[in-house]
């Protein structure tokens, strides 16, 4: 079977969402170099089930329609799931956040604290997929892509799948004041996921290599690699914290932190091509674009002498 450039047929068994040339959006299982249609099942409905039932359902050798891959585009493997994120889970991310921040010790403390840093990243429908553009804010002066292991959980907080994630971030906005974290992290096209959701029981990510390269006008301007083995918190335990007091009936994605941080001399520009690859999970490729900004401001009305 001939595959389009965006369909990684060599990927381990994975859940994928896709758009056909006629605009039809589907949900399928990529397995044994075949993409089969899982509809009328949806990702939302699947993640409402216990893990044992999910595994049994996906393991059935039922007759299913095979989908030709030559005329489809992969989408982010997410429906109504929220995307959350964890911060300062690697030593390098701790050092980078200290470098950028005007409040130095706050990140040093959270690195070793019992309670992890967990924050909201995006509504699922806002996440972009392979080949789509990722954004930088026009009101930011220092922006970086952050490659992260993304973990998909079901409603019960059980780990179902993994993917490559890109947590686009404004280091200048967050560095000005840690309370600006939501503005630094949450904006249009600030989150990318893909290329598919690799089923957790088919891959070991405990020591997976993470690679990121950035190209500008055909020239490589950054290349680095790291390993999930250097993470100081367990991904499944981070997932459990997200679910601890916040019901997620359709499951959720969690970005587990970044260990690859471009140097201070680099800031993302429109046209940059970012490639994030995690061993066993494929490669997520996106191009940077500037997102719209209305220019809105909310200045304090303070009494002045």
pLDDT tens across 149-178, in order? 999 999 999 999 999 999 999 999 999 999
Give residue 164's pLDDT: 98
Structure tokens at 30: 């990529």
How far is it, in rounded angstroms, from Cα 147 to Cα 166? Answer: 5
Residues 237 and 116 in one domain: yes
Cβ–Cβ < 8 Å for 132, 78: no
* Domain region containing 215: 82-290
Q: Which residue reads 């030593």 in tokens?
A: 91
Residues 67 and 146 in one domain: no
Instruction: Give the count of domains, the chain.
Output: 2
> Counting beta carbons within 10 angstroms of the beta carbon of residue 265, is it exposed (0 to 12), middle (13 to 18) or buried (19 or more)?
exposed
What's 198's domain CATH number? 3.90.850.10
The answer to whether residue 236 is domain-embedded is yes
Structure tokens at 43: 């990702």
Q: Which residue reads 């959980």 in tokens?
A: 153
Q: How does residue 305 score in pLDDT terms, banded at 50, 70 and 90?
A: low
pTM of the model: 0.93
The answer to whether residue 265 is domain-embedded is yes
Coil, strand, or helix at residue 180?
helix
How far is it, in rounded angstroms, from Cα 164 to Cα 44? Answer: 20
Residues 62 and 128 in one domain: no
Strand ranges for the chain from DSSP E: 14-20, 25-31, 34-37, 72-75, 82-87, 117-123, 133-136, 143-144, 147-153, 159-167, 169-170, 191-199, 209-216, 219-227, 252-258, 273-278, 282-290
Q: How does residue 221 score in pLDDT terms, banded at 50, 70 and 90?
A: very high
How far is it, in rounded angstroms, from Cα 145 to Cα 148? Answer: 10
Residues 125 and 166 in one domain: yes
Give residue 4's pLDDT: 42
């Amino acid at each position: 079977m001939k595959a389009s450039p965006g369909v990684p047929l060599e990927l381990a068994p994975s859940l994928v969402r896709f758009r056909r040339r006629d605009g039809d959006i589907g949900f399928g299982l990529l397995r044994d170099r075949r993409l089969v249609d899982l509809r009328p099942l949806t990702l939302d409905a699947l993640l409402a089930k216990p893990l044992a039932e999910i595994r049994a359902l996906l393991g059935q050798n039922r007759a299913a329609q095979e989908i030709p891959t030559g005329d489809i585009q992969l989408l982010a493997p997410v429906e109504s799931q929220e995307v959350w994120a964890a911060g300062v889970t690697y030593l390098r991310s701790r050092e980078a956040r200290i470098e950028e921040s005007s409040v130095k010790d706050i990140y040093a403390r959270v690195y070793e604290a019992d309670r992890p840093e967990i924050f909201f990243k995006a509504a699922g429908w806002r996440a972009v997929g392979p080949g789509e553009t990722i954004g930088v804010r026009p009101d930011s002066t220092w922006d970086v892509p952050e490659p992260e292991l993304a973990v998909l959980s079901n409603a019960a907080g059980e780990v179902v799948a993994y993917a490559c994630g890109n947590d686009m971030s404004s280091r200048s906005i967050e560095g000005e004041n840690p309370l600006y974290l939501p503005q630094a992290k949450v904006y249009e096209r600030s989150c990318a996921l893909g290329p598919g959701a690799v089923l957790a029981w088919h891959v070991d990510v405990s020591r997976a290599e993470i690679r990121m390269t950035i190209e500008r006008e055909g020239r490589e301007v950054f290349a680095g690699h790291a390993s999930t083995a250097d993470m100081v918190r367990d991904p499944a335990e981070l997932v459990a914290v997200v679910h601890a007091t916040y019901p997620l009936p359709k499951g959720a994605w969690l970005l587990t932190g970044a260990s690859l941080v471009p140097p201070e001399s680099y800031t993302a520009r429109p046209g940059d091509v970012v490639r994030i690859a995690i061993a066993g999970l494929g490669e997520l490729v996106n191009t940077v674009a500037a997102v719209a900004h209305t220019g809105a401001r909310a200045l304090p009305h303070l009494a002045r002498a």
